[in-house]
A and B are shown apart, each in its own frame.
Chain A
Amino acid sequence: MRGPNRPAISGERLKDMAANARLGLDEARAAALSPVAEQTFAMLDGLDAVKLGDTPPAFSFDARWKD
């Protein structure tokens, strides 16, 4: 289910979001992707329910110099 603070991802909106990522989508392609994008973002919205506090992310960056 879509989170309360996010508008639905219409084809037009998806086209703009993709353009911001320098990815061109024509209207037909954007319209076809729109339901999949909405489903995906709805799933990701669920992560807002996790109280993360100061939990840091785990990155694999290693500053050691290795051969």
Chain B
Amino acid sequence: MAPDARTLGEAAAALKAKDISPVELTQACLNRANAIQNKVNPFVVIIADRAMDAARRAESEIMAGDYRGPMHGIPVVVKDLCDIAGLPTTASSDVRFDHGASENAACVDRLNDAGAVIIAKTHTHEFAYGIVTPKTRNPWDPGRIPGGSSGGTAASVAASACFGGIGTDTGGSIRIPASLCGTVGLKPTFGRTSRFGVTSLSWSLDHVGPLTRSVDDAAVMLGALAGFDARDPGSVDTPVPDYTDGIDGGIEGLRVGVPENFFFDALDPEVETIVRAAIAQLESEGAQLVPVTLPLIEHYMAVEFGLCLPEASAYHQDMLRERADKYEDDVRTFLEIGEVIPATTYIKALRVRERIKNGWRAMFDSIDVLAAPTVPATAAKVGQENFTWRDGGEESITSAYVRHSCPANLTGLPSITVPCGFSGDGLPVGMQILGRPFDEATVLRAAKAYESATDWRARSPDI
């Protein structure tokens, strides 16, 4: 059976019209999930029985006229950092061999409240501490990584095993795999979505958000996920708009910042060509391109790691002492290094972060959004350690991917990645669009204008 490559919105319309039932849709996704698991391995566990129970409930409700909205009866996946009561949250780690969640993460409750059907928990780089997701493969080329840390969610969305999924993003972990797997990925503003019940990597940088096959779908999922939650100290109590409202409004006159430094300094020439063409397309749609210079660029990685390393080591302090041998070596190394960073260095990173935030605020005086390559290269080969740039310089794949994505984590600004083309060897390329705090609506509108003017979304991996 061919995979169901419809968008979430298209499936929702069919469910609402009762052209298809949630049970049929869920069974089709479960079939697809099982079919791709051997080649791509995105799933920690496929929860078929739970999913079919939820699908039958949704079917009864919809047939009775109790339609909850566009997530009702929609099969989705959840990154296995998010607690689902009664299931282990493995974080794709042997360290969590005896874990069991007693209550749902906030994002899981919100999906349930919207009537979504969770069909599986997806692989992450161990504890979200990396950008490879080594247990999963890229559906466009199983010899390539899916990116991470939300690699399982990105791969399953790209391979049409579900209509959307939950990812988390501390230094790019929604947008990196979304870009490498050719999906849309939206990191909302810091505080827009609750992290309650989600295993932390870095409290000051963690975000929860959706990965989907279209921009409209990201708007729908964000609408289901967003909102204040007092259980998350980073949550912000500010109104949640209807993110689909005005999304088709176009970008006539929108001021799009085009970076003159940083984002185009070291990257694959093919990626640069594709993303510059995408930015030119925004101009063709009526946007006004504004050259901008990013502030304090030489300190982004130091602040990202200066915050993430000690915070992660604090979270793992007991587990590292009790179960060090159960961590993968790369993650154990980060955790051990984080133990010895002085508190004053950590606080200095927090203070520099404020300077970066203020610099970006000033930069946004002349623009409404910023457009840039999501990452500087397409999906690395499995086992590849470095990229070589055109000046002959080498950079680790972790540094390269995080370098482009971490500014949105440091500033907390919303950032979406949207597919904007394919490399000569058939790998997806993404463009990220960043906006002002809590202005996801403009970010979505710009991304939708680009998506509507192109046909990249029509392509699916042949797997």
> Is A23's CB under 8 angstroms from B354's CB?
no
Cα of A48 to Cα of B341 in the assembled complex, Å: 15
Chain B, residues 340-356, CB within 8 Å of chain A (1/0): the string is 11000101111111110
Task: Specify which chain A residues have a CB less than 8 angstroms from the CB of B351 in the assembled complex.
Answer: 52, 55-57
B201 CB to nearest A CB, Å = 15
Inter-chain contacts of B299 with A (CB < 8 A): 46-47, 49-50
Docked complex Cα distance between A14 and B333 (Å)? 12
The closest CB in chain B to the CB of A30 belongs to B336
Bound: A39/B325 CA distance, A: 24
- Given the contacts A40-B309, A43-B302, A67 and B230 also touching, CB distance less than 8 Å: yes
With both chains docked as a complex, state the minimum distance between the C-beta of A32 and any C-beta of chain B, in angstroms: 8
| B264 at the A interface (CB under 8 A) | no
Contact of B303 among A33, A47, A67 (CB under 8 A): A47
- Contact bitstring B85-103, A, C-beta under 8 A = 1, else 0: 0000000000000000000
State how many residues of chain A have any CB contact under 8 Å with chain B.
32
Of B301, B340, B341, B351, chain A has the most CB atoms within 10 Å of the CB of: B340
Q: Is the CB of B353 within 8 A of A44?
A: no
Distance between Cα atoms of A44 and B349 in the complex (Å) = 8
Contact A23 B320 (CB under 8 A): yes
- Shortest C-beta distance, A37 to chain B (Å), equals 5
CB neighbours of B349 from chain A (8 A): 44, 47
Residue B306, interface by CB 8 Å = yes
Assembled-state Cα–Cα distance A21/B298 (Å): 29
Q: Is B456 an interface residue (CB 8 A)?
A: no
* Contact of B336 (CB < 8 Å), options: A22, A25, A58: A25
Is the CB–CB distance between A46 and B354 below 8 Å?
no
For A12-46 the 0/1 string (1 means CB < 8 A from B) is: 00100110111101000100010011001101101
User: With an 8 A cutoff between CB atoms, is B360 at the interface?
Assistant: no
Checking B233, B320, B333, B354 against A57 with a beta-carbon cut-off of 8 angstroms, the contacting residue is B354
In the bound complex, CA of A22 to CA of B355 (Å): 33
Q: Which of B234, B341, B351 has the most CB of A within 10 A?
A: B351
Say whether B13 faces chain A, with CB atoms less than 8 Å apart: no
Once bound together, how far apart are the Cα atoms of A44 and B321, in whole Å?
25
Q: Is A5 an interface position by the 8 A CB rule? A: no
- Report chain A residues within 8 Å CB of B341: 40-41, 44
Contact B339 A21 (CB under 8 A): yes
Q: Which residue of the partner chain A has the closest CB to B329?
A: A32
Do residues B348 and A52 form an inter-chain contact, with CB atoms below 8 A? Answer: yes
User: Are A23 and B339 closer than 8 Å at their CB atoms?
Assistant: yes
Task: For A45, give the chain B residue with the smallest CB separation.
Answer: B302
Q: In whole angstroms, how far apart are the Cα atoms of A46 and B320 in the complex?
A: 28
Say whether, besides A18-B336, A33-B336, A46-B298, A58 and B345 are in contact (CB < 8 Å). Answer: no
Complex alpha-carbon distance, A42 and B283, angstroms: 41
B305 contacts partner chain A, Cβ-Cβ < 8 Å: yes
The tally of residues in B whose CB lies under 8 Å from a CB in A reads 33
Minimum Cβ distance to chain A for residue B327 (Å): 12
How far is B234's CA from A23's CA once the two chains are assembled, in angstroms? 29
B203 surroundings in chain A (CB, below 8 A): 60
Among B302, B305, B321, chain A packs the most CB atoms within 10 A around the CB of B302
Question: Among A25, A33, A47, A66, which residue has its beta carbon within 8 angstroms of that of B352?
Answer: A47
Closest CB-CB distance, A13 to chain B, in whole Å?
A: 10
Q: Closest Cβ of chain A: how far from B380's Cβ, in Å?
A: 20
**Does B20 touch A at the CB level, under 8 Å?**
no
Q: How far is the CB of A24 from chain B (nearest CB, A)?
A: 8
Residue of B nearest to A16 (CB): B340
> A47–B296 Cα gap in the complex (Å)?
10
CB distance from A33 to the nearest CB of B (A): 6
- Complex contacts, A22 vs chain B, CB 8 Å: 321
Residues of A within 8 A of B309 (CB): 40
Q: Report how far A56 CA is from B355 CA in the complex, Å.
A: 10
CB–CB B333/A33 < 8 A: yes
Are A66's CB and B230's CB within 8 A? yes
Contacts of A43 in B (CB 8 A): 301-302, 305
> B337 within 8 Å of A by Cβ?
yes
Query: Closest residue to A46 on the B side, CB-wise?
Result: B302
A25 to B296 Cα, complex, angstroms: 36
A47 touches B350 (CB 8 A): no
Given contacts A52-B355, A56-B351, A62-B233, contact A44 B336 (CB under 8 A): no
Query: 13 new A-B pairs (CB below 8 Å) besides A47-B302, A58-B354, A60-B234?
Result: A17-B340, A23-B320, A23-B321, A23-B339, A25-B336, A33-B337, A36-B337, A41-B341, A48-B348, A50-B296, A52-B351, A55-B354, A58-B357
Would you give 24 A-B contacts (Cβ < 8 Å), ordered by A?
A: A18-B340, A20-B340, A23-B320, A23-B339, A29-B336, A40-B305, A40-B309, A40-B337, A41-B341, A43-B301, A44-B349, A46-B299, A47-B348, A49-B299, A50-B355, A52-B348, A55-B355, A56-B351, A57-B351, A59-B350, A60-B203, A60-B204, A62-B233, A66-B230
